[in-house]
Amino acid sequence: MRRLMNVRWLGAALTILVLAGVCVQLGRWQLHRLHDREERNGVTRSNLAAPPAPLDQIVGPQAVIGDQHAWRTAVVTGHFDASKQIVLRYRNVSDRPGFEIVTPLVLPDGKAVLVDRGFLPRQAAELAPTAIPAVPAGEVTVTGRLQRSERGGHTNGGTPDNGTARLINGPEYAKALGLDLYDGYLTVNSQVPANDPSFGKFPGPEIDSGPHFFYALQWFLFAILAVGGLIYFTRRPATNAAGEVVAERNDVPEPAGTPD
């Protein structure tokens, strides 16, 4: 009882219980992320299997490309505005650094959609592509995958600056370029006239469960180990400085001696 009432030991026990509770909550958070990822995977599979359709029929009058539209195949026809082309810096495809070229495609109704025309691998230590393939003249039909606008928290990477940016963000581009843009963008799958062959293709989506389930198991295991260790040391006999077992005593004093 004396050991259990020791303030320092109780403080350590409380700390262990709190840490175990935190581990349980982190495990539940990982399971929640797993659930969200599985839902996104379902949407992605459905969108990949859907037939191509005009952009306005997919998105509707709101003109916002959201998570529910990711990887859906859309078809748009218009003309490229090369004067408002943006070079995306610090991009990486298949572990290779480079640039992406985003050009607005102006549609017949006056609206425009950002088209990511492709990836240009960085040559040596260049800070900008030495040559950007020209856009086709006249009417162009693009068939590609829809993606929502990229967001970088509190950074301004989605605001074009001197013809360059780090993110593709429809509302920020609209303000900077003076265009009525869809909120989101399109990556080229095919194009008529054909896209320049020097552009690299983009990989498809990763449709897997990720590491969340195993991370959850790890957090739950940490919680079990913490509580198990606490129980073990609670039941373990107390020892003195020499390592000898110290028997716990009641507070009732023993008799001083035996009667004659």
Could you give the CA distance from residue 103 to residue 136 in angstroms, rounded to a whole number?
11
pLDDT for the residue 246: 52
pLDDT given at position 172: 93
Residues whose CB falls within 8 Å of the CB of residue 215, separated by 6 or more in sequence, listed in order: 27, 30
Give the span between the Cα atoms of 100 and 86, in whole angstroms.
8
Q: What is the pLDDT of residue 74?
A: 97
Looking up tokens 């480079």 gives 98
Asked if the model's pLDDT at residue 242 lies above 60, the reply is no
| Rounded Cα distance, 118 and 5, in Å | 69
Q: What integer best gives the mean pLDDT of the chain?
A: 85
In sequence order, what are the beta bridge partners of 95?
none
In this structure, of 8-12, 44-48, 157-161, the range with the lowest mean pLDDT score is 8-12
What is the band of 106 on the pLDDT scale with cuts at 50, 70, 90?
A: very high
> If pLDDT is split at 50, 70 and 90, which confidence band does 254 have?
low
As a whole number of angstroms, the distance between CA 95 and CA 215 comes to 25
Looking at residue 228, its pLDDT comes to: 85
CA atoms in the 13 A half-sphere facing the CB of 169 = 19
Please check the confidence at residue 207 and state whether its pLDDT lies above 90. no
For 47-105, write each residue's pLDDT tens digit: 999 999 999 999 998 999 999 999 999 999 999 999 999 999 999 998 899 999 999 99
pLDDT > 50? residue 214:
yes
Q: Which of 241, 236, 235, 238 is nearest to 249 (CA)?
A: 238
> Tell me, what's the pLDDT at 188?
95
Does pLDDT of 134 surpass 50? yes
